[in-house]
Amino acid sequence: MNQPDGKDDIRSGRTREVVVRDIIQGLYDGRYEPGQRIYEAQLTAAHGISRGPVREALNALAAMNIVSLVPQKGAQVRVLGVDEAIETLVVAQTLIALAARLAAESNRDGPAFARFQEAARALQRFKSGDSTNSDYAVARDSFYGALTALASNAELSRVLPTVRVHLIRTQFRSILRADDATWLRDYGRIADAVMAGQAKAAEAAARTHISRAISRLQDFQNQ
Query: pLDDT averaged over consecutive 10-residue blocks of the chain (223 residues)?
Result: 45 77 87 91 91 92 90 87 94 96 94 96 82 76 94 93 85 78 90 98 97 93 88
Q: What is the pLDDT of residues 62-78, one digit of tens each?
A: 988 899 998 877 899 99
Rounded to 5 degrees, what angle do the CA atoms 87, 93, 99 make?
Answer: 140
* Cα→Cα distances 125→63, 110, 135, Å: 31, 24, 11
Q: What is the pLDDT of residue 13?
A: 57
Instruction: Please report the DSSP string for 212-223 in residue order.
Output: HHHHHHHHHHT-
Q: What is the pLDDT of residues 170-208, one digit of tens each?
A: 888 888 876 667 888 999 999 999 999 999 999 999 999
Structural domain boundaries in the chain: 7-77, 82-221
Tell me the backbone φ, ψ of residue 152, rounded to 5 degrees.
55, 55
Question: Is the Cα dihedral 201, 204, 210, 216 positive or negative?
Answer: negative
- Domains 7-77 and 82-221 are alike in CATH topology: no
Contact status, residue 172 vs residue 62, Cβ threshold 8 Å: no
Contact status, residue 147 vs residue 116, Cβ threshold 8 Å: yes
Q: Domain 7-77 has what CATH class?
A: mainly alpha
Q: What is the pLDDT of residue 21?
A: 87
- The domain made up of 82-221 is a member of CATH 3.40.50.300: no
